[in-house]
Structure 1
Amino acid sequence: MSAVWRVVEISLGILCSTAISAAVLPQSSSAAMRNALYLRFGGFARFVVNGLRGDISRAEFETGNVRFVVEAIGLEGLRSVTVFEDPHMRRRNGRLNRLNSEFMAVTTRFNALHQLLERLRLEQADQVFKHIDPGLENLAELLDGFADRALTNDDAALLVTRLESCRAYFPARVRSLRTELERTLPSDAERLDFHTSFELLYRLLSELLDYARTHASLADHSHEREQWKGSFVPRTHWMTALAAGARATCVVGLMSVYWVLTAWPSGASMVLASAATVALSSTTHNPRRMSLQMAGGTLLGALSGFIETFFLFPHIDGFPLLCLLLAPVFVLGAYLGSRPQWTGYGLGLLIFFSLGSVPDNLTVYNPYTFINDYIAMVVGMLICAAAGAIILPPNSRWMWQRLEQALRNQVVFAISAPIKRLGSSFESQTRDLMHQAYGLAIGKPLVQRELLRWMFVVLEIGHAIIELRHEQALLPIHPAYAEYQPWRIALRVMGRALVRLFIQPDAVNLQRCLSAVDQAIKRVQEADEPFASHFDTSVLRRVKSYLHFIRSSLLDPQSPLAAYSVARTASGVVHAAA
């Protein structure tokens, strides 16, 4: 019978909290998601405009990317909630999923373009910049009108129109600028930089257009863009789950053995509190800190509960007065729980005050049992804190290193995974790993910066590899594009070299990888193409641009791989496109 009453109590609590949340100052996840979607693009547009014009520092660039990663992860969580809450959002679930995936693709593309532009600025490649700057400024002017403001559905439709117009004349504009560049007799390196810059800019323009079309389609209940097969694919390292499971097993096992051996009447409370605490703390980046905060909140709940139970409850009569006495504690707990730095205090206060101090239908005033139960709860939480600090703590170096390795292995995933829906899986998994690792390294800015730099190089090279794989998958049937052609073989050799480099980064593997990329570029340059070598029709020109960008990323002085290129730089090879 007690189990039935427990189910009734929980159900009634859920119904009451739902009714109050919907009636008193209601806040919905669907409204929060709309607001986040509208505001996100305005901030990103300003970020892109500043980047294209060279008005963004390295620190601002990194901070902005961290913010976009957090927003992408957060919006995925909101989307999964709004599907259940709002029928209108449920009908747009595919487009919301697609919108988040397209936003991640746009940020990756812009990061790649920004990396190339920064290298050109660093090398003072004025001749190249003179001829690519008009294209950059066109896009910057277009986005400037949408920067720093919410992108409504009507604004998105206007953005679609302007981007379509810009893309329509883009190839002719590129050919005109290339003709002007050729009059200056550029070197092969300058020509490659020009082609790669405009290839990345054209792809950025196309992906912005896809994003704007999807955003504008949200105005309709039904739309063809709802048919989206990709999805956000989270990635949790198996060591993270193993560590959380090991801590929970040790804590609950130790508490249970102690309870059995001592026959402590409050042992059940200790096991219950430790199980709840170890489960809740395992979802955070610092289980020890979370457990200590929950212990503090529980202690605060014990003090306030003791005062109310033994000094106030005996003197009141009726439900209104009971609510009046309980309300201050719940308000304080809700306030603490809504503050990220005090979340543990709020959880401990709300959960364990309700568990130990809210009167039952038959209230028993027993100070001995009351004090023992709260001592058991606090002891259980302190044991959880000790376990979080001793048993495979996730915010220690061993976990950063494994997540960093998992981040690098995403390049292997881009090379070897099936091509179907590879882009969205690669983007989401890489960002999810980065989000986890970055959170675990809170308070360690050098570690966070190193992880962020690895994310940039992984996304840039991985995205270029996926584009190369798509180009090869869509090649026309012609002997010039056959599998046995030297340039196709060189691409496969380069892929194996990249796998070795990102599994075990060192100077030897970097040198081998650069040699493989150089060889692939050479083979592509030597290959004969049966079609006109225009920007928008030449497969080999696009392949060469991607290869050049991969080489540029490997030699980026801001990349973590730069530490392994010292020997190569000392030997005289200093230009990324030499």
Structure 2
Amino acid sequence: MADPTFRDTHSISALQAAFIDWARTDGRTWVYLLKALTAAFLALGIAMRLDLPQPRTAMTTVFIVMQPQSGAILAKSFYRIGGTLVGLVATLFLIAVFAPQRELFLGALAIWTGVCTAGAARNRNFRSYGFLLAGYTAALIGIPAAQHPDGAFLSALTRAAEVTLGVLCAGFVGALVLPQQASLQMRTTVRARFSAFVEYVAAALSGRVEREQIERTNARFLAEIVGFEAMRSVAVFEGPETRARSGRLARLNSEFMTASTRFHALHQLMNRLRSAGAMQAVNALEPYFKELAPLLHTPGEPVLSATDAAGSARKLEALKAALPRRVREARAALAEQPGFALLDFDTGAELLYRFVDDMHAYALTYASLATTTHERERWPERYEPKTNTVLTLIAGARGAIVMAALSVFWIATAWPNGAMLVLNAAAVCALASSSAHPTRMTYQMAVGTILATIFGFIEVFGVYPHIDGFPLLCAALTPPLALGIWMTTRPKLVGYGAGYCIFFCVLAGPDNLLAYHPAGFANDAIALVLSMAACALAYSVLLPPSTPWLRAHLLADLRRQVVLACRAPLAPVRARFESRARDLAFQAHALMERDAAAQRDALAWLIAVLEVGHAVIDLRRELSALPSDARYAATMPWRRAIAQSGKALIALFARPTDRRLDTALAANFDAIAATQQALAAFAPLREDRHRLQRILSYLHFVRTALIDPQSPLARYAGGAVSRDRAAHA
């Protein structure tokens, strides 16, 4: 018979496990729901106590700012307050200059809204809210105030006070009441990403990774890089501990990009050598890979902390120190074998050393996070997600056109609720411009607004007349608001929830003096839905993001990053090139969400661009380190051949064609031959000879990337490419 004490202990343990699981999932949703309601009612109560004209504005602001994580709330609040102040100044300026002429004022407001919409689209992080509020505040304050210019200054100040109150209440509740910190999630992300990457490297080195898995891994890495930077920009608002590590976290992201790109290049080179039948070079390099894998990941002992990363860094440092001597000794032995392709071995060995070096730096930065301050904190480069310039300009022009069109409609119809129509369009255009799918976003917000209209009508005309006092008001508002907050916690319902929460407050949010006017309520609801319909129509008709032309433009911009690698100043070029290329690929990947083939094509172009771009940057660094000697001058034939090869690469990636691919391959072949001839013509010093060999390795790797049958450049392959592949094999 079982021991009752044992059964009771087992039951308690099961209950504890169930509670912990609930707290990590649905429990967080309930905590966020209660915090959002608390912040909204706090803002509403203070606004009513201060007798502000529209307390509903403070409550609406809470739902615009509120986020599950305290750092996200503070970041959003910071930029929202800044945008509100900028919008306030712009409003007063526009009213002072254009208020007597309504048409000129609305035209200037449309232009200002377009500029702010472009800024919101350009910055795909919390900075977008600053631009959003700068445009929305100008419309929110300016349109009503322009109709009564004598009270514009006071109206602008009170509206800014309402917005600021909502921001402060959201930040106060989010930071102090059961805070959920992004910094804690960031630690988990850092640990999980490092462990996942070294496991992936170990599996790939042992040949256990299929091409489909490589594609999935690269797509995941792409999303993680962008998400990591967004999380870092939020976490710095949470306290001095995270701010003290912000530079290292940015560096960690950059070093992860470099290490993952380098490893992929090494892995691809080995696959190309196998496909070409160069098994002698493969067999000579594989012992190093078998030695490297256990240094990164020991089965059963994953790297889980900064201390573990420090151990990996020490092992990698020892390998890095010994590797050049061992490679030279192996190369000397291989050179004695007749017909051995030394250039293949040199290229693989150079990429291996660079990967070990990059992985060592990545592990060192991860290990440095264990201390509050560290010298690796000094890192000037930042990953800044920026939307493509053409897409940004289109978003700004679209926002200005929508505002102008709705303003013309308002003036032509003299609709009393036209002000609501125009100012809401300003907010929706800016809000949707930062979304990867703005048409879907505006549609979902419109549906949420219709739902808010139904519940708001019931609340205003069915509930408000029967309650008295602030506690009962909060109790009456809790059920409908809780529904909207719950929707915002579900990824597929975020757009519906945002539209519902925000516009429920706009339509049914209480003021100090309630007015029961069904016709006015209906007109406001119609104006809100019409403004969203107009925005959705604009995003569907005026160069929608899903149009093939925009997709092609994004890929062309991605390919042009090779031009950046070839021509940009050398010091900051690697971080700029890497982050810019990955960010463009992320934008293209998001736009092609429903087209798996197009997504694979975008990832393939990203891989080709990263491989060639990194090789070009390494080549430029080696060339810049050559001594000041006439034999190494830029006017020497072998240097001119390398420069011509770079020009051919720029032309190829700017606009790929069969002829340009053949030209790039021919120029690359000439550069390799000229460099080999120069190396044989004179006896350089040992370090200079090694540098020239590294230059040859990078040129050779570029050639292998250009003739790779799995590269997107293969579609432009002609007879010359086929002959080059045969010669390479």
Same fold, judged at TM 0.5 (above): yes
CA deviation string 1:201-237 (max 9, x = no partner): 1100001111111121222222221222323244432
- Give the whole-Å Cα distance in 2 for the aligned partners of 1:466 and 1:499: 13
1:513 shift after superposition? 0.6
Does residue 171 of the first structure (1) align with residue 327 of the second (2)? Answer: no
> 2:707–2:721: 8 Å Cα contact kept in structure 1?
no
SS, match of residue 85 in structure 1: coil
Give CA deviations for 1:102-123 in whole Å, capped at 9, x if unaligned: 1111111111111111212323
RMSD: 2.1
TM alignment of 1:245-264, pairs within 5 A: 245-264=396-415
Give the corresponding residue for 2:271: 118
Higher mean alpha-carbon deviation, 395-404 vs 262-271, is at 262-271
Tell me, what secondary structure is at the counterpart of 1:384?
helix
1:137 counterpart (283, 290, 297): 290
Letter in 1 for 2:402: V
How far apart are the structure 2 equivalents of 1:196 and 1:283?
43
Structure 2 counterpart of 1:463, from 611, 614, 625: 614
Whether 2:578 is the aligned partner of 1:434: answer no
1:308 alignment partner, one of 437, 459, 465: 459
Paired with 2:302 and 2:164, the residues of 1 have a C-alpha distance of: 43
User: For 2:560, what is the secondary structure of its paired residue?
Assistant: helix
8 Å Cα contact 1:45-1:148 kept in structure 2: no
2:313 is matched with 160
The range that moved more, 231-240 or 302-311, is 231-240
> Is 1:390–2:541 an aligned residue pair?
yes
| Per-residue CA distance 1:244-296 (angstroms, 9 max, x = gap) | 11211121111111112212122111112221111111111222111110100
Which shifted more, 333-342 or 344-353? 333-342
Structure 2 match to 1:557: 709
Of 46, 56, 81 in structure 1, the residue corresponding to residue 234 of structure 2 is 81
Partner of 1:377: 528
1:71 paired to 2:224: yes
- Report 1:117-266 matches (<5 A): 117-145=270-298, 151-179=304-332, 181-182=334-335, 184-187=337-340, 190-266=341-417
Amino acid at match of 2:266: L
Task: Measure, in 1, the Cα distance between the counterparts of 2:327 and 2:207.
Answer: 21
Q: Which moved more, 1:140-149 or 1:82-91?
A: 140-149
1:269/1:377 contact within 8 Å kept? yes
The one-character-per-residue Cα deviations of 1:97-156 (angstroms, maximum 9, x if unpaired) are 222111111111111111111212323433222211111111212222389956422122
1:107 equivalent in structure 2 = 260
Residue type at the aligned position of 1:568: A
Query: Could you tell me which residue of structure 2 aligns to residue 55 of structure 1?
Result: 208
Residues of 2 paired with 1:50 and 1:403: CA distance? 33
- Deviations 1:415-461 (Å, cap 9, x if unpaired)? 11111211111111111111111111110111111111111111110
Counterpart Cα distance in 2 of 1:331 and 1:133 = 60
**2:173 matched residue in structure 1:** 20
Q: Name the structure 2 match of 1:567.
A: 719
Amino acid at match of 2:236: V
One-letter amino acid of the structure 1 residue matched with residue 390 of structure 2? M
- Which range is displaced more, 101-110 or 151-160? 151-160
Shift of 1:32: 2.3
d(CA) in 2 for partners of 1:148, 1:496: 48
Contact 2:316–2:360 (Cα < 8 Å) also in 1: yes
Partners of 1:477 and 1:461 lie apart in 2 by 27
DSSP-derived class of the 2:236 partner: helix
TM-score (norm 1): 0.94
Distance 1:197 1:288, change over 3 A: same
Q: Give the counterpart of 1:339 among 490, 513, 520.
A: 490
Q: CA deviation at 1:3?
A: 4.1
Normalising to structure 2: TM-score of the pair? Answer: 0.75
* Residue of structure 2 aligned with 1:324, choices 461, 472, 475: 475
SS at match of 1:25: coil
Specify the alignment match of 1:412 in structure 2.
563
Rounded Cα–Cα distance in structure 2 between residues aligned with 1:425 and 1:432: 10
Whole-Å separation in 2 of the counterparts to 1:458 and 1:274: 39
SS at match of 1:527: helix
Other structure's SS at 2:515 match: coil
In structure 1, the residue matched to 2:243 is: 90
Structure 1 range deviating more: 82-91 or 247-256: 82-91
Gaps of 5+ in 1: none
Matched, 1:41 2:184: no
